[in-house]
Amino acid sequence: MIPTPRKIAIVTGASSGIGAATVGHLAAAGFHVVGGARRVDRISAVTDPVGGTALALDVTDPASIETFLANSRQLAEERQLAIHLLVNNAGGALGLDRVESARDDQWETMYRTNVLGTMRMSRPLLPDLIASGDGHIINIGSIAGFETYPGGAGYTAAKHGQRAVTRTLRLELLGQPVRVTEIAPGLVETEFSVVRFEGDTERAQGVYAGMEPLLAEDIAECIAWAASRPAHVNIDEIVVRPRDQAAATLVHRRPVG
């Protein structure tokens, strides 16, 4: 049963994977969830059942962000609720090329989504979160934010960059009623690898072959847990890996087939 919402939460990248799974968990925790992503029909599939709102959002496009925020604020006003939580989840990886053959377009997109997207969503929402009296930014980082692996430089550089933004926000917001949390997962089986390998599902499945990855639900639970601690408790960071993964480059695999 979904409780009557008391607060608004914005979740970016709510059309798939971790973001989509987070919608239901935050609704169950008492939030009216506004989900944003480029594929709005897919957001509606997860927001409609829990009474949330699906809005188009491209975190790399300032005009799209402006429209998304105007619509979110209008919704907040209509419902007489404040925006308390921003989950910067939109992002991901493109390619697995070594630096010697790195593609500019992939690196630029990864930087624009994971790093600039986090900043471009957080910057305009900070006044709303402060005014709410109990605000919270949860950034979905990665173990790639503090580890590296061959072929991963474009993504790990972006996640290291996003992590720096998160940690800086934690310092800058000290004294304000806004918490800052990073959730840093290891391997989670979502559309992440299909996107990374540009639709090559066989290659994507190979990432999880012979091991048991995390599920999007596992991370959504962490997000909802961090968001539902008492206001004076700041969960600074949660690192979550599958039992089968000890490091980005060290995964235990059983024989397949």
Which residues make up the interface to ligand 8X3 (CB under 6 A)? 142-144, 152, 155, 186-187, 248
Q: Which of 38, 73, 167, 203 binds ligand NDP (CB under 6 A)?
A: 38
Region 104-133 residues binding ligand NDP, contact defined as CB under 6 A: 113-114
Nearer Cβ to ligand NDP, position 2 or 207? 207
91 binds, among ligand 8X3, ligand NDP, none (CB under 5 to 8 A by kind): ligand NDP
Cβ closest to ligand 8X3, residue 19 vs residue 186: 186
- Please, what is the angle between helix 17-28 and helix 216-227, to 10°? 40
Question: CB under 5 to 8 A by kind: which of ligand 8X3, ligand NDP, none does 12 bind?
Answer: ligand NDP
To ligand NDP, the closest distance from the beta carbon of 232 in angstroms equals 28
Among 195, 211, 215, 238, binds ligand NDP (CB under 6 A): 195
Contact 81, 131 (CB under 8 A): no
Torsion-angle region of 136 (φ positive above 0: left; ψ -120 to 50: alpha; else: beta): beta
Q: For the CB of residue 218, give the shortest distance to ligand NDP in the complex, in Å.
A: 11
- The entry of ligand 8X3, ligand NDP, none near residue 248 (CB within 5 to 8 angstroms by kind) is ligand 8X3
- 155 catalytic? Reply is yes
Q: Which of 106, 142, 156, 166 binds ligand NDP (CB under 6 A)?
A: 142
Minimal distance, residue 50 CB to ligand NDP, in Å:
17
Binding to ligand NDP by residue 203, rule CB under 6 A?
no
Half-sphere exposure of 120 (CA within 13 A, CB side): 22
**Catalytic residue numbers?**
155
